[in-house]
Structure 1
Amino acid sequence: MKLIDTHSHIYSEAFDEDIAEAIQRAKDANVGQIFLPNIDSESIEPMFKLVKNYPDYCLPMMGLHPTSVKENYEEELAICEKWLKKESFIAIGEIGIDLYWDKTFLKEQQLVFEKQLNWAVERELPVVIHARESFSEIFEVLEPFKSKNLTGVFHSFTGNLEQANKAISMGFLLGLNGILTFKNSGLDRVVKEIDTKYLILETDSPYLAPTPKRGKRNESAYVAFIAEKLAEIHNLSLDEVTKITSRNAQNLFKI
């Protein structure tokens, strides 16, 4: 069984000089697939370039990231919807609400989030949720969808145990990345209380590189460090963690 990096922006400019080498390092680290969340209209072309160059290895999603929700959000949504009609995607993502950087467009973020959740229900696709300082707002938007068979993952999960259990009760998995390895994050204590059947692995490259690579550019190969940390937390072998989390990802994304 191979690892799956369920969330990586390796199509970004950070990899312009060595994308082929980064992909090879991922393969050498036993990474079998990399899932690519979209950000906005500007990220679509580089994302698809990577998908074309690495078919069946790099798999795309489509969505509008909350930090890209501005005055032109309707135009951005229309572009996403156009692509959804002409290409296949494994998920609607990356979507959600982000109140860390700016609260100016909270209302618009909520509208955009709900719109994209409806796309997911219509297309029977999972959603990849970005939640930053916004768990209560996100749960509020999700509440009406509890009876609509919506599935997905809270990407880069950093919540407390109560928030974790609420997300799971609503049909979601938790995406774990380099934050799990950070000494003072406290996420390890939360994750220890969560059954591994609700967990998947990600890097969020090029951000949030795990220990011992913290402070450097993150890449998909480093998902192995997150798997090792999860194995330590749950007293499992690396092979067991690989098998469990990859099967969880395959089931969620219907791969």
Structure 2
Amino acid sequence: MAAGFIDCHCHISVEEFAEDVGDVIKRAKEAGVKALVSVTEHVDEFEKVIQLHKRYPDFVVPCFGIHPVQGCAPQLQQHSVTMQDLEPALPFFQKYKNEIAAVGEIGLDFTPWYAPHSEQRDEQQKVFRSQLDIAKQLGLPVNVHSRSAGRQTITALKEQGIQHALLHNFAGKPSVALEGVQAGYFFSFPPAISRNEQRVLLVKQIPLEHICLETDSPALGLDKEVRNEPKNITISCEYIAKVKGVTPERVAEITTQNALKLFPRIHRTVKL
């Protein structure tokens, strides 16, 4: 497959990959992956993803972002993000503004057990909009989480004047997704989509010219109990091809073009 694949949303800097990241990257390359757009969720990951970019400068494309749910380490209680979670991250955006390819993973997560109260949802909006402002100041696209908040997320993006956005693992209504398409946004889907029949209509309605591929590794693979890897991007590609009634080669070609359009700094890293 000449075009290869670009994994537009994965978490290569997390602990789950710490022991064998070299092998994971080798397997990804063997599967035809040309680049990993590696997002972060909390400030402790920022330096880690930069070090991986330095170690694999032709493959790992770093992003910085504070996720709407914090406390990802096993010993920490998860909580809805606050401005206090964002503040320690702010200097890093400036320090590495020339290295990062996007601001992400950022967004909204209104899942009831994370954000049961309006105060928490309002605070998430503040953190999200603050990071959208950072992206605009740096001239960068955004890599966006929108669980149980698809409409609110797209509304915020449009209100903030964001022109370049990826809505990863989008699970909102097709009508809401099409508002994002109208705004010029892209949507990406991980391997787990192939075990969720409810997404068929969504994938059918979003034009291929607005779709990218992702794995969201180490999560959202075919099997919930098995660590997902970037090599599994082929599963996303084949599923989208089946739903769209086109060849996997066509999906690989168009989604790679879309990724390069959305994340122009990939060109600095990857030789396609």
Counterparts of 1:1-255 in structure 2 under 5 Å? Answer: 1-68=3-70, 69-70=81-82, 72-85=84-97, 87-100=98-111, 101-103=113-115, 105-145=120-160, 148=161, 150-182=163-195, 184-210=196-222, 213-254=223-264, 255=266
Calculate percent identity across the aligned residue pairs.
31
Partners of 2:63 and 2:168 in 1: how far apart? Answer: 13
Partners of 1:171 and 1:130 in 2: how far apart? Answer: 17
SS state at 1:204 partner: coil
Partners of 2:207 and 2:17 in 1: how far apart? Answer: 34
Q: Partner amino acid for 2:149?
A: S
Contact 1:40 1:76 in 2 (8 A): no
Cα offset for 1:248? 0.4
In structure 2, list runs of 5 or more residues that go unmatched. 71-80, 267-272
Q: Partner amino acid for 1:22?
A: V
Cα offset for 1:9? 0.6
Partners of 1:152 and 1:80 in 2: how far apart? Answer: 21
Compared CA separation, residues 65 and 83, structure 1 to 2 (3 A): farther
The Cα RMSD (Å) is: 1.7
Deviations 1:7-41 (A, max 9, x none): 11122111122111111110110011101012121
Contact 1:121 1:150 in 2 (8 A): no
SS state at 2:9 partner: coil
Number of equivalent positions: 249
Contact 2:190 2:236 in 1 (8 A): yes
Compared CA separation, residues 119 and 215, structure 1 to 2 (3 A): same
Q: Partner amino acid for 2:235?
A: F
Partners of 2:233 and 2:123 in 1: how far apart? Answer: 33
Which moves more between the two structures, 185-194 or 54-63?
185-194
Q: Partner amino acid for 1:144?
A: E
Q: Partner amino acid for 1:132?
A: R
Identify the residue that residue 270 of structure 2 maps to in structure 1: none
Contact 2:151 2:172 in 1 (8 A): no
Partners of 1:82 and 1:149 in 2: how far apart? Answer: 19
Contact 2:108 2:124 in 1 (8 A): yes
Q: Partner amino acid for 2:110?
A: L
SS state at 2:145 partner: strand
Contact 2:105 2:145 in 1 (8 A): yes
Cα offset for 1:81? 3.1
Partners of 1:153 and 1:80 in 2: how far apart? Answer: 22
Which moves more between the two structures, 148-157 or 236-245?
148-157
SS state at 1:23 partner: helix
Cα offset for 1:79? 3.7
Write out the 4+ residue segments of structure 1 that deviate beyond 6 Å after TM superposition. none
Contact 1:99 1:133 in 2 (8 A): yes
Compared CA separation, residues 247 and 206, structure 1 to 2 (3 A): same
Compared CA separation, residues 13 and 198, structure 1 to 2 (3 A): same
Contact 2:28 2:231 in 1 (8 A): yes
Compared CA separation, residues 139 and 195, structure 1 to 2 (3 A): closer
Q: Partner amino acid for 1:187?
A: R
